[in-house]
A and B are shown apart, each in its own frame.
Chain A
Amino acid sequence: MNVLEIIYEGIDDLNQDLEPGEQLEKNEEATIFGPDSKLDSMGLVNLITIIEEKLEKKTGRFISIADERAMSMEASPFKTIGTLKNYITDLINE
């Protein structure tokens, strides 16, 4: 399964509701959430929800991305698209 592709599909869905200046870029270095982010906290919630739904469709099981470990990690998995991809890949492989 191509996790990056699922994240990009989620970003496409999310961007449909965002103004051109607020839209997320699709590259692994692009910031998702943090001081330089275009997303507010509800935008992040929306993106996570969309990606969780897409993952559930592909894998047939619900994978919570915003789990306890994500909240306790010093380096947030939601910082960039690359960190999110790595985190989701770890969750799938567990």
Chain B
Amino acid sequence: MSNPANQKIFLITGSSKGIGRFIAEYYAKLDYFVIGCSRSKSDFNHPNYLHFEIDISNESDVMGMFREIKTRYKRIDVLINNAAINPAIISAAILPSVTIENVFKTNVFATMVFCREAVKLMLRNKSGRIINFGSMATRHEVPGEALYTATKSAIIGYTRVLAKEVARSNITVNILAPSAIKTALSAKINQEALQEVLSRNAIHEYGNFEDVSNAVDFLIKDESHSITGQIIYLGGA
């Protein structure tokens, strides 16, 4: 029986598919209470799961969701900023401004807004764990991925500063950069190019969902209270 008052509460963005969906299911089944959100509906039905259908790049949608969370549960223990969009591989020399703006809105601005609102809730409890998703792209400088790489690089700078601001309040903020995992997002990427990038990792094979949940398990442990402002590259990027 779900009882969020006695459960650790997760908020996961982009939880209707891919990595977000996997970790939402993983923690709900471990009897944590998971709040997920995405632009689409979720067909994951579980007593420990609540889904918000919102556009994370729309601040008023996000604020409405946070107000509801605050009213109903009063806290968030773990925020996982997983949602991201990866535009088509295209030269930086011909990127349309509207594409730049849209990708930054989802990958960077939304992450910042979610962190801001989650920190406010976490400060009241003097505890919290924030995990922002990075990418191996920031290590490999892949031609055609300038925009996506720029957004993920922005997340690194932001996360490291935020980690210092909130450390005294027992809130940690880290980056988890998964290796390529077979998801709907990665399927849209040129497979030959992806394989070439993977070959630059220490581990050349695709990663899997369990690699991600294992790293999240580690970062949210009470014993990981001093691990903050760090980047974990899965696959050895």
Interface residues of chain A, those whose CB is within 8 Å of chain B, are: 40-42, 45-46, 49, 62
Contacts and interface: CB of A to CB of B under 8 A. Distances in A.
A42 B67 contact: no
A45 B168 CA distance: 13
Contacts of A40: 168
Interface in B164-188: 165-166, 168-169
Nearest to A42: B169
Contacts of A46: 120, 123-124
B119 interface: yes
Contacts of A62: 63, 67
Nearest to A53: B70
A41 B165 contact: yes
Contacts of B119: 42, 45
Nearest to B64: A62
B123 A45 contact: yes
B168 to A, nearest CB: 7
A-B pairs with the 4 shortest C-beta distances? A49-B120, A46-B123, A42-B169, A41-B165
A54 B84 CA distance: 34
Nearest to A17: B126
Nearest to B126: A17
B124 A42 contact: no
B167 to A, nearest CB: 9
Interface in B89-139: 119-120, 123-124
Given A62-B63, A62-B67, 11 more contacts: A40-B168, A42-B123, A42-B165, A42-B166, A42-B168, A42-B169, A45-B123, A46-B120, A46-B123, A49-B123, A49-B124
A93 B166 CA distance: 33
Contacts of B120: 45-46, 49
Contacts of A42: 119, 123, 165-166, 168-169
Give the residue among A40, A41, A49 with the most B Cβ atoms within 10 A.
A49
A14 to B, nearest CB: 11
Interface string B126-165: 0000000000000000000000000000000000000001
A62 B169 CA distance: 25
Interface in B48-84: 63, 67
B113 to A, nearest CB: 12
Contacts of B168: 40, 42
